[in-house]
Amino acid sequence: MFQTAELGQKVSREDFDRVSNSLRTELLELQQDLRKADFPVIVVFAGVDGAGKGESVNLINEWMDPRWIVSRAYTTPSDEERERPDAWRFWRDLPPKGQIGLFLSCWYSQPILDHVHGEISTAQFDRHLDRILAFEKMLADDGALILKFWMHLGKDAQKRRLKSLEKDPLQSWRVNKQDWKNWKLYDRFTATAERALRRTGTGQARWEIVEGEDARFRSLTVLTTLRDAIRGHMDDRAARLKVIAEARARASAHRNAELAKVHDARDTMEKEAAAAAKDPGKKKKVKTVDLSSDGQIRGLTVLDAMDMTQTMSKDQYGLALKKARAELAMLSHQTRERGISTLLVFEGWDAAGKGGAIRRLTAGLDARNYQVIPFAAPTDEERAQHYLWRFWRHLPRAGRLRVFDRSWYGRVLVERIEGFALPEEWMRAYAEINEFEELLVRHGTVLVKFWLHITKEEQYRRFKERETIPYKSWKLTDEDWRNRAKWDEYTIGVNEMVERTSTREAPWVLVEGNDKNFARVKIIQAVCDHLRQRLG
Amino acid sequence: MFQTAELGQKVSREDFDRVSNSLRTELLELQQDLRKADFPVIVVFAGVDGAGKGESVNLINEWMDPRWIVSRAYTTPSDEERERPDAWRFWRDLPPKGQIGLFLSCWYSQPILDHVHGEISTAQFDRHLDRILAFEKMLADDGALILKFWMHLGKDAQKRRLKSLEKDPLQSWRVNKQDWKNWKLYDRFTATAERALRRTGTGQARWEIVEGEDARFRSLTVLTTLRDAIRGHMDDRAARLKVIAEARARASAHRNAELAKVHDARDTMEKEAAAAAKDPGKKKKVKTVDLSSDGQIRGLTVLDAMDMTQTMSKDQYGLALKKARAELAMLSHQTRERGISTLLVFEGWDAAGKGGAIRRLTAGLDARNYQVIPFAAPTDEERAQHYLWRFWRHLPRAGRLRVFDRSWYGRVLVERIEGFALPEEWMRAYAEINEFEELLVRHGTVLVKFWLHITKEEQYRRFKERETIPYKSWKLTDEDWRNRAKWDEYTIGVNEMVERTSTREAPWVLVEGNDKNFARVKIIQAVCDHLRQRLG
């Protein structure tokens, strides 16, 4: 695999000087164009010690404008990093759209070293590589340009290089004992590297193997590869954006046509709902009609199967709430002591009572340990990143509990239904979400996801109530009525979401919310169950 | 001081129930109004253990909507926090405008405990209190509502409270050995607390002493105080915003009038500049005319006193650059090893060569250790915070070097000149900046500030050059020409900035930039000097 990088390729000083000036200009111009692009550039530098990884990063920073470059090198994680899944430190450093991130000793480094030193088995190593694949795929699917340089030196060349660095008083600090220890493991290192490169080189995130011995050859190779990749990706994206714009226009036209149908039927539906709300005895099952954009016809959904008649009397409620809260306080104290993080995700219909349920839940907790994070429109810093970035950034530290009021599931609910995400985007989101949640759970986070369900009639009643109560009226917007008109589409979305993302470790808890008392107690009890189980 | 909080005040259950419903509604409504306000609410809870600090925070979270409340309690700092000035952890948690931050065991906690346990002298304690005063003043001046609750219990009442908590199986975890140890120090604790309260109770950030024994009395006191304070502050701000709007309008009218004058004179100035650029021999001193908004007439500024004829030949430059860079590489390797952070601030005229100088500087550094952060328009997350917040968030970790391309000095330069900041705002900024920089320096950060100076003629030449070179033309905007028309105002601003913010520990280095070679070498050498000095 590395033979082509042990050929002793060189570039003469004259040749280098001849091309370097125009290359510099090209790179600077390109960087200005890139700043307006809708994707980030992620460049990984890995390889043999002494093969010029650091020097390449330095050179890029020197030749291009470092103001729009993020360079990161990773050593021991900080405690704030250790308290989150491994990938957190990389996510927090990702460059925003229009910028370049240069990553040294990053996500490949630890797994490769661990495997070389025999600290993980080949099977474990492969699992790490799979995670890396998923991570890079996620970013590339979102438009990121990912470039990976493997800087190579033959065994003898590495020895020469280390010796010459040691001799140079200005460079000698670059070489330490560990470097020589690693050199003795050269063959094992390259064998492991080969495996990593073979398994993680994809069409979306290619490896470029660079012969590192000659600085001029290496520099020109890295810089021209970078230039061509950025230029090519910009062209691809431009073409792609046209296709996307057309797809969005089609989706939007289709949506409007559907919406018109819904509006025709709405009056009737409203009247039925009002009548049913007045006379619950006569309530009849509203059949799910085919309104999904993909033309699927579904009989029953998980929501239809819920027993929405469950209630809890005021007395029962008082008692049960007190008991559940007390237990929750104890359990969350224990998770804090043991450094176990908890993430509670709340999704549900408008007016399903998320806010109230969250307040009743957190009232049993010590405010020192929890935080409620509402997710509405992303900020501009968030919009410049992958859609999961803003959830990564709010992950709790060890022992803390966070409640997410709405979450990454917006991708397969509102973004899907409203067409903000294209079908290919929300369809692949299930896999991205499962991957993300698996990282959380593997890290030891307790993750529970609640869907607060109410019937369409109950929602109507609550909307009407909100209209009349002054301090609730701000909660009701036109948006809510519009979403209500798409009830059936959302039902299909929820059903599919539960089907595809409810796992044993990160289950969906469907909460019958027509009776608020019942719902609130059920939620707190469910949190207790999961904490108890995790505490063992 | 605390007698009024040892009266055994109580509220009956009936009275509490009677008012609580309407109070809850008021608080919820108020919170919705607050979300639209242009200020954050910062609530500090301090006081005697067991006096209900945590419970009050819990209650506010239960009664109000926790989605727009940030609750924070502080224990041992994380390593990322330890690597920055003490205040960093508080700055990073500040609530944005429109939200409420509840702070437990925060900035008062450590100084008070340290003083009680005799770990710091009274003089040191007072210094901590002065820093707190400056911190709170800075936030309050920016519009923040700061409310500080001192939750009090008499010595016997505290004993009773701790005992009763211990007996309650649901609460017993709240009490530990340290609490009883602290109780034995009760008298010293209250004496220290009195000192703290006396010295930090200001009109902008009052202390409210709350008797903590009776939960209902305590809760009603806290909640009604909070309600009234928010309401009052909202009214004050509304009145204030009118005054501000008028002041801004006046400032803007004044500016336009001045600008007209400048424009009249501009043609002549341009011609003179062009002539001078063509024939440097004939260059004559452009006298600073009175254009400052406060009518000050200045003869010479620090900029006039600079010898702008200094140059460096290409040969000298090559040699000196190489030498300076090599030294910088060594020194910055040592600062990394010793965990010393470096912050280099670059300000200067448009086209003064900041970008190029930064690139030549960083080229001597290991890209693993440095980052260049450009500060242009703030993001929306940054706009929702105090103007210094975005600089706090980018402070380097231990051993790292950061270059800030533009900085907090924008407040007293562009924001002053363009009238984005009102006179009272930029005038108090000198004190805020000095306070901020003192925290950095006291923490051990090497802070060097560069003003890149060029003559007006040289700027003209470079603007013209930029117009013709394709990969530089993006750099030149109308903004630049507009700023140039305000050269004299900026000169006065720079002079005052240097006068008021150049300290021995955080000096301004004025760089003669007409000759780029000279400037670049001078900058790198200055950084070396400061690093060498710091390394001792």
pLDDT of A293 higher than 70: no
Q: Which residues in chain A are contacts of B28 at CB distance < 8 A?
A: 471
Minimum-distance CB partner of A25 among B73, B372, B471: B471
Contact criterion met (CB < 8 Å) for A368 and B54: yes
Find residues 84-143 of chain B whose CB sits inside 8 Å of chain A.
Answer: 102, 104
Whether ipTM exceeds 0.85: no
Q: What percent of chain A has pLDDT over 70?
A: 91
Closest CA to B27 of B57, B54, B56, B61: B61
Check CB contact of A68 with chain B, cutoff 8 Å.
yes
Contact criterion met (CB < 8 Å) for A374 and B71: no
Find residues 152-211 of chain A whose CB sits inside 8 Å of chain B.
Answer: 170, 173
Q: In a 3-state reduction of DSSP, which class is residue B504? A: coil
Q: Which residues in chain A are contacts of B176 at CB distance < 8 A?
A: none
Q: What pLDDT, in 10s, does the model give residues B208-240? A: 999 999 999 999 999 999 999 999 999 999 888
- Pick the residue with more confidence: A279 or B442? B442
Helices B456-468 & B215-278, crossing angle to 10 degrees? 90
Cα separations in angstroms, A129 against A47, A112, A441, B390:
16, 9, 18, 36
The Cα–Cα gap between A210 and A225 comes to 10
What are the beta bridge partners of residue A347? A451
Check CB contact of A32 with chain B, cutoff 8 Å.
yes
Q: Which residues in chain B are contacts of A474 at CB distance < 8 A?
A: 32
Check CB contact of B368 with chain A, cutoff 8 Å.
yes
Find residues 322-361 of chain A whose CB sits inside 8 Å of chain B.
Answer: 326, 329-330, 333, 355, 358-359
Residue A297 pLDDT? 47
Q: What pLDDT, in 10s, does the model give residues A62-117? A: 899 999 999 999 999 999 999 999 999 999 999 999 999 999 999 999 999 999 99
Cβ(B297)–Cβ(B290) under 8 Å?
yes
pLDDT of B267 higher than 60: no
Residue A273 pLDDT? 62
Stretch among A138-147, A304-313, B176-185, B325-334 having the lowest mean pLDDT? B176-185
Contact criterion met (CB < 8 Å) for B78 and A73: no
Q: What pLDDT, in 10s, does the model give residues A391-442? A: 999 999 999 999 999 999 999 999 998 888 888 899 999 999 999 999 999 9
Q: Which residues in chain B are contacts of A173 at CB distance < 8 A?
A: 330, 333
Q: Which residues in chain A are contacts of B372 at CB distance < 8 A?
A: 61, 66-67, 69
Q: What pLDDT, in 10s, does the model give residues A471-482? A: 677 777 777 888
Closest CA to B347 of B160, B513, B109: B513
Which tokens belong to A136? 């890079």
Residue A284 pLDDT? 47
Residue B497 pLDDT? 94
Distance from B250 to chain A by nearest Cα, in Å? 32
Check CB contact of B36 with chain A, cutoff 8 Å.
no
Local confidence band at A3 (pLDDT 50, 70, 90 cut-offs):
confident
Check CB contact of B306 with chain A, cutoff 8 Å.
no
Would strands A342-348 and B41-47 be described as parallel, antiparallel, or unpaired? Answer: unpaired
List of residues 6+ apart from A103 with CB closer than 8 A: A42, A43, A44, A45, A72, A73, A90, A93
- Over residues B65-85, the mean pLDDT reads 93
What are the beta bridge partners of residue B213? none
DSSP string of A350-392? TTSSHHHHHHHHHTTS-TTTEEEEE--SPPHHHHTS-TTHHHH
Q: What pLDDT, in 10s, does the model give residues A307-327? A: 999 999 999 999 999 999 999
The Cα–Cα gap between B182 and B177 comes to 9
Check CB contact of A33 with chain B, cutoff 8 Å.
no
The Cα–Cα gap between A434 and A436 comes to 5
Find residues 412-471 of chain B whose CB sits inside 8 Å of chain A.
Answer: 470-471
List of residues 6+ apart from A59 with CB closer than 8 A: A219, A222, A223
Check CB contact of A28 with chain B, cutoff 8 Å.
yes
In SS3 terms, B75-130 reads as CCCCHHHHCCCCCHHHHHHCCCCCCEEEEECCCCHHHHHHHHCCCCCHHHHHHHHH
- Over residues B119-136, the mean pLDDT reads 96
Q: Where are the alpha helices (DSSP H) in B279-302?
A: none
Strand boundaries in A162-249, DSSP class E: 207-211
Cβ(A413)–Cβ(A389) under 8 Å?
no
Q: What pLDDT, in 10s, does the model give residues A209-222? A: 999 999 999 999 99
- Over residues B443-461, the mean pLDDT reads 96
Check CB contact of A378 with chain B, cutoff 8 Å.
no
Q: Which residue of B has its CA nearest to A26?
A: B471
- Which candidate in B106, B471, B524 is best for mutational testing of the A interface (most A CBs within 10 A)? B471
Output phi, psi for A485, to 5 deg. -65, -20
Local confidence band at A255 (pLDDT 50, 70, 90 cut-offs):
low
pLDDT of A367 higher than 50: yes
The Cα–Cα gap between B407 and B508 comes to 13
The Cα–Cα gap between B23 and B499 comes to 52
Token pair 């009109």 is found at B203
Q: Which residues in chain B are contacts of A66 at CB distance < 8 A?
A: 358-359, 362, 372, 403
Average pLDDT, chain B: 89
Q: In a 3-state reduction of DSSP, which class is residue A469? A: coil
Output phi, psi for B101, to 5 deg. -110, 125
- Which candidate in A368, A466, A475 is best for mutational testing of the B interface (most B CBs within 10 A)? A368
Q: What pLDDT, in 10s, does the model give residues B168-218? A: 877 787 788 888 888 999 999 999 999 999 999 988 899 999 999 999 999
Contact criterion met (CB < 8 Å) for B71 and A368: yes
pLDDT of B418 higher than 80: yes
Distance from A267 to chain B by nearest Cα, in Å? 32
Closest CA to B56 of B188, B177, B220: B220
Strand order in the sheet with A342-348: A370-374, A401-405, A342-348, A446-453, A508-512
Vertex A168 angle, CA A166 and A170, to 5°:
110
Closest CA to A19 of A211, A226, A219: A219
The Cα–Cα gap between A298 and A498 comes to 15
Cβ(B288)–Cβ(B301) under 8 Å?
yes
- CA atoms within a 13 Å half-sphere pointing along the CA-CB vector of B383: 10
